[in-house]
Amino acid sequence: MDQFEPLLPSGSIGAGHIKGPPESLHLPWLPTSSLKQYTLVFPVTADSKICLGMKKRGFGAGRYNGFGGKVEPGETVFEAAKRELLEEANIVATKMPQCGRIRFAFENSPVLMDVYVYRVEEWEREPEETEEMLPKWYSMLPSDHPSSPSLPAIPFDNMWPDDDLWFRFFLAKKSFVGRVDFNKPAESDTEGKMEDGSMRKWWFADAPVELMQA
């Protein structure tokens, strides 16, 4: 809550709080000295399919994720989300409501990543492989659900570790805010990639999207 107090009027946070782990609750959030805007975009269909991309290079490579990246100078967050979707999946969003906002901090990094999450409900063309992403379709419903498309389940084991915490809001069509702090990677991790650190502390809740756009 403390992270979003400046963004959300009091009383606007919903009942669906998730926080942890228990031993982190007394820890302060990691200190950061700058905020950088990012986008994260998930194409979804009315018949419960979701398109994820295997990131082929750079930050988060080897994981399935939505499409997105940094907001460049001179563009709005929405324009950046549209541009990244076109660059990474080769589709043009025509209906793309925002559905979340998540902040990520990493031990040893001064930057607080401020990630705006969108669901793309209508678009032109079909997702295609690009230099950055390999798109693949998944079912948003449990496999035993009568309306589940015959597609694999969302591959949480091969995604960022926090995703299965906040996807419950996304899949329930509830907008959400949250924050995750990551520890630095273990010394034994010879590559020492920032994104391989374990989750140190997190907080998520549902909140109205109109109030999180500041």
| Contact set with ligand 8DG (CB under 6 A) | 38-40, 58-60, 65, 68-70, 104, 113, 115, 160, 162-163
From residue 98, alpha-carbon distances to 36, 40, 84 in Å are 18, 10, 15
CB 186 within 8 A of CB 207: no
Bridge-based pairing state of the strands 64-65 and 133-139: unpaired
Q: Which residue is nearest to ligand 8DG (CB)?
A: 69
Kindly state the smallest distance separating residue 39's Cβ from ligand 8DG, in Å.
Answer: 6
Kindly state the smallest distance separating residue 109's Cβ from ligand 8DG, in Å.
Answer: 11
DSSP code of residue 145: S
Kindly state the smallest distance separating residue 103's Cβ from ligand 8DG, in Å.
Answer: 10
Structure tokens at 1: 């809550």
Q: Which is nearer to ligand 8DG, 12 or 155 (CB)?
A: 155
The values of phi and psi at residue 196, to 5°, are: -90, 0
Q: Which is nearer to ligand 8DG, 145 or 189 (CB)?
A: 189
Q: Which is nearer to ligand 8DG, 38 or 203 (CB)?
A: 38
